[in-house]
Amino acid sequence: MAQGYLIFHLNLAFSSIITEARPDVIRKCYWPLLEFAESTGIPVGIELTGWTLRQIVLLDQSWVDRFEQMLATGQCELIGSGWSQIIGPLVPYEVNRWNQKLGLDAYRQFLGVTPRIALVNEMAFSTGMVDLYADAGYDGIIMDRDNVRLALGLDHTPLSTTPTHALGCGDRSLPVLWSDSILFQRLQRAVHGDIPVSEYLGYVKRRGEHDGALLPIYCNDVEIFDYRPGRFTAESILHSEGEWKRLKRVCKHLKDDIALDWLTPSKALDKNMATIRPNVARLTSGSQPIPVKKQAKYNINRWAVTGRDNLWLNTACHKIHRLLMQKEEASDEESWRELCELWASDLRTHITDNRWDEARLRIDKVLCRLWQPKLLFQAGDKFAGCQAFIENTLPLDMQIEQDAEGILWTIKTPYIHLVLNVRRGMAIKSLSFKSHNFEPVLGTLPQGYFSSIEYGADFYSGGVLIEVPGDRNRMTDLEWVTPNFKRQGSKVLIIAKIPLAKGFLEKKITIDVETEKVRLKYDFKQFIRPLGIVRVGFITLIPESLMMPLFVTCVNGGQNEECFQLNQDVNHGQAASTLVSSTAAFGATDGRFVIADSSARKIVLRWNPADCSAIPMYKNLLIQDLHLTRVWFSLCELDDTSHATGTLLPFSLELGVA
């Protein structure tokens, strides 16, 4: 006999639900859910954040009382989430840890229950999340199966090849109860009347016969039954039969026609673990370091650099986090609770105007309370001309030479050798470090490096790419520049201003004669954040100086680093559709990204997410036995949540060695 389970996600912070509509949601969605479980006898999993639970307490205590009773009788099972629905791989470890603590405290306070299983928020998973959930005391997690199988290259293999346990950064693992995007979307369509019930039942029967006995029938939002959140301008009308009635009818058919037996999520997890030999594996890969839910448009950049102004929003949250860690508020529950709420995923997608304005005002108030700004720069500094600077104020340990045509500028210190191409906006021709015996590890692969015309271009380092599809506009910084120079102690700043449509880019390269570090800074002046992509800090590796295979390492919301081998063709910047500009990225939540070769030679990229929470992405291709490996940082991507509002924050990237 086939067995299945139902898990409903409750979220009063749903991005497109206005505050005033929340009592309506409780009445039309949350009460019918409890009645559904009572009348059908189907034990349902109910997942909600501590924040949503508290809102229900304030708006309708009787619902919470009924829910508590049904938890005691086993008619419902509580599934954990956290205090807020946050995208764990995009936030620092301390925020994730507090989010779980506050959520568990709320469950115990309002329901007297501690959940066994946690649902990964928005199914945005990273390896570091396993250790986080284990530390919080969970026995298992719920994650989207389809995208994990895609990440692991298992999408064309039998379901039996899917891992049963998620391995963390070390030796710890947690069993996984799988959600299935296609299964829950098919149920939604049947209930909404988009497909005939008979067609849906036939599909489930085939899945049961093909996949095995345990089916994740539903694991998604409850606010889409007999209610429309207003997320889209053209939403389907409510079914005349009544969608809760229709859901009951469909579930009755599943039991009567397919002989489906219903389990609680915990029993489904236990059954899965008891009948299947454990298959423990990491659920991520270089192509998908952070798998998420549903189809490709729901990649991690949705919450990182799209939305109304997610770059600014995430940067402000990082700034609050840094300030909390430095002050007495480091142990203040209310301060962490507020930060978790400001990091909620729903503020970063289809948020309403009023709620967006409220979030901005709230962030301003928090920063004013925590932040005591210091004067970092003195006004009135002037740039000297290049020749005068070189002759009069160049540090003793630095040499600057120009080639005969004035195109390539070579800067040497005891620790780095840097060649800049001023014909191409100060693109990096080559950069080498003393620790690497001054072998260039990054720079430019010139046109003709690859024999295929498909890659018959120059692949520069240090550049900028801006594309605005609606304007049919593509901008780069690859222009003639006349750099200015400035000295600050042991550091020399090389500065150029590059015109862009409706603004300009101030590009600054800082070289410290006493360290193996070079800093690149991109400051967009009078340039509005576009409805398109903005990618900066392109780094092109020089294959001849590196021993393959390569590895990249970073922290994605956990406490420990995650390592990915670059052993397959990957392009995070490849468009998922004409409306979605990318497919994947890393969280790198501590502002550190390491590239290493097999000989342990490392390039370390550092930035401050509290100044600009740019997202690292990469491309790795094998082209006729030659490698093209590039890393870059996105300030803006394009998807269905994107708005052309806000400004592009200055981004500063340090290149160095371990």
For residue 231, is it within any domain? Answer: yes
For residue 119, is it within any domain? Answer: yes
Considering Cα of 342, then 345, then 346, then 350, what sign does the dihedral take? positive
Domain span at residue 531 reads 386-656
The CA-atom distances, in angstroms, between 385 and each of 481, 483, 649 are 13, 8, 28
The H or E element containing residue 253 is: helix 243-258
Closest by alpha carbon to 215, among 248, 250, 257, 182? Answer: 182
Residues 6+ apart with CB under 8 A from 401: 409, 410, 412
- CA angle (35 as vertex; 32, 36 as ends), nearest 5: 85
| Per-residue model confidence as pLDDT tens digits over 214-267 | 899 999 999 999 997 765 555 567 777 889 999 999 999 999 998 999 999 999
**Does 342 lie in the same domain as 240?**
no
For residue 505, is it within any domain? Answer: yes
The order of strands in the sheet holding 427-433 is 399-402, 408-412, 416-421, 427-433, 442-443
Residue 580 structure tokens: 């979605």
Question: What local confidence, expressed as pLDDT, does residue 328 receive?
Answer: 65
The H or E element containing residue 609 is: none
Closest by alpha carbon to 139, among 40, 248, 326, 269? Answer: 269
Helix axes 93-111, 127-136, angle to 10 degrees: 40
Secondary structure of residue 51 in the 3-state scheme:
helix
**Does 35 lie in the same domain as 10?**
yes
CATH number for position 418: 2.70.98
Distance CA 516, CA 415 (A): 5
Residues 6+ apart with CB under 8 A from 331: none
For residue 377, is it within any domain? Answer: no
**Does 571 lie in the same domain as 492?**
yes
**Does 290 lie in the same domain as 323?**
no
**Does 283 lie in the same domain as 241?**
yes
Compute how many other C-beta atoms are within 10 angstroms of the C-beta atom of residue 24: 12
**Does 459 lie in the same domain as 393?**
yes
Closest by alpha carbon to 146, among 3, 293, 297, 281? Answer: 293
Question: What local confidence, expressed as pLDDT, does residue 235 receive?
Answer: 59
Residue in the block written with tokens 């849906």: 200
**Residues 584, 617 contacting (CB under 8 angstroms):** yes
For residue 309, is it within any domain? Answer: no
**Does 260 lie in the same domain as 350?**
no
Residue 223 structure tokens: 């606010």
Question: What local confidence, expressed as pLDDT, does residue 377 receive?
Answer: 30
Distance, CA of 380 to chain centre: 40
**Does 333 lie in the same domain as 297?**
no
**Does 187 lie in the same domain as 105?**
yes
The CA-atom distances, in angstroms, between 261 and each of 43, 264, 402 are 11, 10, 77
Burial class (CB in 10 A: 0-12, 13-18, 19+), 506: middle
**Does 477 lie in the same domain as 428?**
yes
Residue in the block written with tokens 């008891």: 274
CATH number for position 155: 3.20.110.20
Query: What letter represents residue 231's amino acid?
Result: R
Residues 6+ apart with CB under 8 A from 554: 561, 562, 586, 587, 588, 590, 592, 593, 594, 616
Q: For the chain, how many structural domains are there in total? A: 3
pTM over 0.85: yes
**Residues 71, 77 contacting (CB under 8 angstroms):** yes
Burial class (CB in 10 A: 0-12, 13-18, 19+), 232: exposed
Q: Please list the ranges in the chain whose pLDDT falls under 70.
A: 230-236, 275, 328-330, 372-392
For residue 418, is it within any domain? Answer: yes
What are the phi and psi torsion angles at 552 (to 5°)? -125, 145
Question: What local confidence, expressed as pLDDT, does residue 582 receive?
Answer: 96
Distance CA 321, CA 326 (A): 9
For residue 379, is it within any domain? Answer: no
Residue 191 structure tokens: 């209930």
**Does 344 lie in the same domain as 393?**
no
**Does 256 lie in the same domain as 393?**
no
| Per-residue model confidence as pLDDT tens digits over 470-527 | 889 999 999 999 999 998 888 999 999 999 988 999 999 999 999 999 999 999 998 8
For residue 162, is it within any domain? Answer: yes
Query: What letter represents residue 31's amino acid?
Result: W
